[in-house]
């Protein structure tokens, strides 16, 4: 029921009208304007370090080398500001380094250009495992590179894992020159897996 009391009205007010079967009615809904200073914005969910590292990696898709292992992006992510070196491990290390900076945390492992060294360093503070279903977003996956078992390897950051164990990654230094950061998909049961690596302890 609408009161016959006078209601202040402005052009910004909204009106709703109609009939109830017996008489017409008009309802005036005053517009409430909230000053920006009084708005409450819900905070963004706090990401873990691996989740933030993945976010950084995704932001870099399309970036990469200009010539073989060289270019501004490679110098940006390198240890010493120089290029001319394979950069898959530098890329994932830099993603974690940048993630730690954004979150105000210390980088938990040494930045390195060797994939297997990065994996082994993470294994000392977290876990190494072989089962892809144990992997979570932001964890790392690595493979043997070349023939036989050598110090050479390749490493990528995990975006997600399908229920059948197929892993989806963000990878640097893979494909034809000039290689760019890109999304990839792997069935590690058919590949020369080295280790999965995570900062989470006790994963086996």
Confidence of residue 9 (pLDDT cuts 50, 70, 90): very low
CA atoms within 13 A on the CB side of 101: 7
Separation of alpha carbons 101 and 97, rounded Å: 6
pLDDT tens-digit series, residues 31-44 = 667 676 666 665 55
Is 139:203 a contact under the CB 8 Å cutoff? no
Separation of alpha carbons 119 and 195, rounded Å: 7
- SS (HEC) of 72-87: HHHHHHCCCCCCCCCC
pLDDT tens-digit series, residues 104-125 = 999 999 999 999 999 999 999 9
Is 68:83 a contact under the CB 8 Å cutoff? no
Q: Is the dihedral of CA 85, 89, 92, 95 positive or negative?
A: negative
Domains and CATH numbers, the chain: 49-198 (3.90.1720)
Give the pTM.
0.78
């Amino acid at each position: 029921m609408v009161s016959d009391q006078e209601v202040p009205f402005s052009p910004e007010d909204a009106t709703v009208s109609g009939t109830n079967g017996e008489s017409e009615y008009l309802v005036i809904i005053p517009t409430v304007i909230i000053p920006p200073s009084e708005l409450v914005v819900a905070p963004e969910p706090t990401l873990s370090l691996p989740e933030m590292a993945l976010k950084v990696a995704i932001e870099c898709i399309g970036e990469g080398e200009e010539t073989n292992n060289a270019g501004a992006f490679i110098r940006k992510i390198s240890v010493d500001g120089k290029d001319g070196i394979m950069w898959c491990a530098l890329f994932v290390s830099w993603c974690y380094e940048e993630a730690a900076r954004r979150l105000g945390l210390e980088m938990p492992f040494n930045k390195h250009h060797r994939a297997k060294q990065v994996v082994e360093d993470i294994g000392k503070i977290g876990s190494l495992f072989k089962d892809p279903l144990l992997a979570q977003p932001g964890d790392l996956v690595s493979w043997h590179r070349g023939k036989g078992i050598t110090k050479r390897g390749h490493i990528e950051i995990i975006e997600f894992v399908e229920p059948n164990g197929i892993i989806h990654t963000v990878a640097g230094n893979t494909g034809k020159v000039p290689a760019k950061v890109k999304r990839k998909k792997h069935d590690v049961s058919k590949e020369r897996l080295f280790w999965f690596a995570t900062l989470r302890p006790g994963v086996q």
